Amino acid sequence: MAHIVTEPCIKCKYTDCVTVCPVDCFHEDKEMLTIDPDVCIDCGACIPECPVQAIYSDSDIPEKYKSYIALNAAKSKELPVITEKKTPLADPKDKPA
């Protein structure tokens, strides 16, 4: 099992989740983060750190975000690892619920 970053992360990229990850499985592009499913150990530490509720276990992901399972797997292979908190692209309270 792995965790998946989904649509609410797009243009937000709040990065507190990466600071709690014990295995450095997060990767970033210009708009969002992804999780490498081959590195993620399914610890769940990242889930409560995400203020926009963008991270799900792959077994609990809502149907509307299922395409993000393949997207995370593919993009994480080509993007750089992120391990430090950065300034988010948007304030999480400005994102629609």
Would you place residue 73 in the very low, low, confident or very high pLDDT band (cuts 50, 70, 90)? very high
Write the CATH number for 20: 3.30.70.20
Please give the model's pTM, rounded to 2 decimal places. Answer: 0.90
What are the φ and ψ backbone dihedral angles of 80, each rounded to 5 degrees? -75, 150
In a domain, 25, yes or no: yes
Would you place residue 1 in the very low, low, confident or very high pLDDT band (cuts 50, 70, 90)? confident
Chain segment 7-54, per-residue pLDDT in tens: 999 998 999 999 999 999 999 999 999 999 999 999 999 999 999 999
89 or 56, greater pLDDT: 56
Provide the mean pLDDT of the chain.
93
Nearest CA to 30 out of 92, 89, 77 is that of 89
In a domain, 91, yes or no: no
